[in-house]
Amino acid sequence: MRWRRTDPVQTVGALILVGPGAVERLAEALAGKAAAFSSLAVARGEAWAAVFAGPPPEDPGGEPILPRITGAEPLYEAEPGWWLPVGLALNAPDHLGPVLWRALGEHYGLAPPAIVAPRLEPGAEDADSADLYLIRHTGPLTAIRAAPR
């Protein structure tokens, strides 16, 4: 699969922190935010953590909310269950997207949801490799911190 830069006009639906201590950094960032953010779905892995937009608990039909977190990479849902960083897309015509996402899952024996983070060199406009973060469990931060990776 190839990935390309595109205009960063996608709707942000999640944030990801990557690197050692990502879960702790996310917990620290959310600790200083409004209580409504504590109910948002969080996923984690060995060295990453993501928080997904959702409606505030007091207004389940309301607009999704997402906190600002310094250093977090904003994500959008490129295809149901497949998340990409804002400003990046498949390097293929839009009408091929569903077929290519399905082929990616089948080739690697994966099922979404997953976050795909293309590895673009500084100044590059496209890439042919990416990091993949599999989302297997989501829940409030308190539950996810205690859960196995």
pLDDT means per 10 residues, the chain with 149 residues, are: 90 96 91 83 94 91 92 95 95 91 90 94 91 91 63
Q: In 3D, which of 72, 101, 97, 75 has the Cα closest to residue 86?
A: 75
Q: Is the separation of the CB atoms in 67 and 33 below 8 Å?
A: yes
Q: In sequence order, what E strands does the chain have?
A: 3-5, 14-18, 42-45, 48-52, 73-79, 82-85, 88-90, 114-118, 126-127, 130-134
What pLDDT does residue 32 have?
77
What's the pTM? Answer: 0.90
Task: Provide the number of structural domains found in the chain.
Answer: 1
What pLDDT does residue 106 have?
92
List the helix and strand counts (H, then E) for the chain: 3, 10
Q: Distance between CA atoms of 120 and 105, rounded to whole angstroms?
A: 21
147 is written with which tokens?
């859960």
What pLDDT does residue 64 have?
93
Residue-number span of the structural domain to which 54 is assigned: 3-146
